[in-house]
Amino acid sequence: MLDQLLSKIENRTAVISIVGMGYVGLPLLLRYAYAGFKVLGFDIAKEKVDKLNEGQSYIEHVPEASIAYACSKGFEATTDFSRVVEADAVIICVPTPLNAYREPDLSFILSTVNSLVPHLRAGQIISLESTTYPGTTDEELWPRIESRGLRVGEDVFLVFSPEREDPGNPFFKTRSIPKVCGGVTPACRTAGVALYASAIDEVVAVSSTRAAELTKLLENIHRAVNIGLINEMKIIADRMDIDIYEVINAAATKPFGFTPYYPGPGLGGHCIPIDPFYLTWKARQFGLHTRFIELAGEINNEMPNWVVNKVASTLNELGRSVKGSKILVLGIAYKKNVDDMRESPSVKLMEILHAKGAEIAYSDPHVPSFPRMRNHHFDLKSAELTEQSIASYDLLLLATNHSAFDYDFIQKHAKVIVDTRGVYQRTLPNVIKS
């Protein structure tokens, strides 16, 4: 079986299926299409499937020309999971959120695998890319696949290869980002390396799926901890009346031993706010308390409240309270120059301020109307930034530093701006750094 699968991958006759066509799955799907494979896309959202089959994109940084190219090479999108029998490779890219108790929620993975299992066949490779705790692949996927009578490592091949997408990053694309891959058996790893090497420039093989799972968590926990550190430094610097951005920029001139991280209004994106809790939960099963990681999480989770307090004190200096004030949030995507709203701290800021009685509006050139989200909703559209509209707000809260904003124009006409991103480096009378 392995030799047949490797031969299909090598001569590009293998059919590649991607399950979950979001910010991770869609770019990967297109990469395989450009690498010369026929690709089949699965998603439970019919509107996504219909758009893709019509050659349309629903992600800002994914051009429709790329989707049209994939369609011209035989790409199809479907909600019919029984068609997975047509695929030689099944790559799962579905969300792994937290539940209300900040514990891992594997419901998307498990429901997806349960839908796929009845249609799996010998000769396939199954790869999980969703970020999760060590042990998920062999504890949850392996027994489900073998319940169909397929022997993992002989009939089918199971691997974990963590996604490393960075939406909107102009310097790294799917093809150029090295791909980590671990298998539950050596034969599985061989199949996984071959699958990804056919479309990605560099594949990094590790000894097991657990090592691959922990690799992804380490990458994101490293960022979360360092962001927690710099957020705490920001609070200290603010109390001491020191500009934290000046300090960071000065420290960054050291040519060794220092990597600059920058503070913000809170963590955003699907990975960094969530992934550390996958490891802390799993570590507790081994009698371990991840104190360092959890402390960073506490600091980062508290940042939206700290920003709101800064907004309240700024309004208080102007003789106003949060209640009844008109506040415009500049940027609601989780990071600059993308339309990605996953776990955006801007939304948390909007909810806290709204709960305190503020009249909330937002402006974001990448998000024309507030999208449907699982846990949040505002019936709002992006406000136009004119001299009159800017001046009409009691306070502007700069939450996401999109390049498209005309910051000089905004500052010229705003009553006051609370800047959470360090956009305004120089001292200005109506800019409060937060």
Q: Which residues are catalytic?
A: 271
* DSSP secondary structure letter of residue 333: S
Which segments of 11-121 does DSSP mark as H helices, in order? 25-34, 46-53, 64-72, 107-116
Please state whether beta strands 76-78 and 157-160 pair in parallel, antiparallel, or not at all (unpaired): unpaired
d(C-alpha 158, C-alpha 269), whole Å:
27
First to last CA, the chain: 59
Instruction: Using the CB atoms, write b or e for 208-242: b if 16+ within 10 Å.
Output: bbbebbbbbbebbbebbbebbbbbbbbeebbeeee
d(C-alpha 144, C-alpha 142), whole Å:
6
Q: Do the Cβ atoms of 32 and 16 come closer than 8 Å?
A: yes
DSSP string, 96-152: --B-TTS-B--HHHHHHHHHHGGG--TT-EEEE-S---TTHIIIIIHHHHHTTTPPB
Please state whether beta strands 179-183 and 157-160 pair in parallel, antiparallel, or not at all (unpaired): antiparallel
* Phi and psi, residue 128, nearest 5°: -100, 130
DSSP string, 253-268: T-SSS-------SS--
d(C-alpha 407, C-alpha 377), whole Å:
27
d(C-alpha 60, C-alpha 360), whole Å:
25
Name the amino acid, one letter, at 359: E
